[in-house]
Amino acid sequence: MNVIIRAEKPTEREVSERILRAAFGREDEVRLSTALRGLSDFNPNLSLVGADENEIRGYALYHRSTVDTGTGSQPALLLSPIGVDPAYQRQGIGERLVRHGLERCRVVGLELVFVIGLPPYFSRFGFQPAAPLGLTPSIAIPEDQFQVIDLSGRMLGKIQGRVALPSPIAGGGQPVPTDS
């Protein structure tokens, strides 16, 4: 199977949604991807598919988020959702969607990428829990599931603050109270 990773075409959205529905076995991530695509800062170059000669087999979306440091705002990205057709899982498609996506993020100069979910899966790429590093999400997320990778290697430990997640995610969660 020869899978390539590339930007999704607008005509392929329905197929990507079908992949997400099958991967997660529910509608939540389909609704999330639809809502994220509708935001003004949606970047189609970071809406990625893994496709073989016949069909799309996996989908991953990297969306804008920011770290509010108290004195400023640092642009970042959130990888969510990512899903692979169950019939094609464990063949490296998810890994390629992550690695290729992170490379695209690096090329556009974004250093911090966050992800929600599956600590054992994402740690292999260098993601680590964000909260112990002082990067806390704006909604309640189990600490081990909210992870970050520093693509430049010069941000973690130097930047701390509240991570403002895209509104379709933040709107669906419990806000974490601020100290002030």
Judged by CB under 6 A, the residue of 64, 94, 101, 168 near ligand COA is 94
112-116/73-84 β-pairing:
parallel
CA distance 82 to 95: 10
In the complex with ligand COA, the residue whose CB is nearer, 120 or 157, is 120
Contact string 107-136 vs ligand COA (x = CB under 6 A): ----------xx-xx---------------
Contact call for residues 60 and 48 (beta carbons, < 8 A) = yes
Least CB distance to ligand COA at residue 154 (A)? 27
Residue that has been written with the tokens 């112990």 in this structure: 132
Least CB distance to ligand COA at residue 89 (A)? 3
- Work out whether 24 is an interface residue with ligand COA (CB under 6 A): yes
Residues ≥6 apart with Cβ < 8 Å to 65: 76, 77, 78, 114, 163, 164, 165, 166
4-7/47-51 β-pairing:
antiparallel
- Work out whether 87 is an interface residue with ligand COA (CB under 6 A): no
Q: Which residues bind ligand COA (CB under 6 A)?
A: 23-24, 80-84, 89-95, 117-118, 120-121
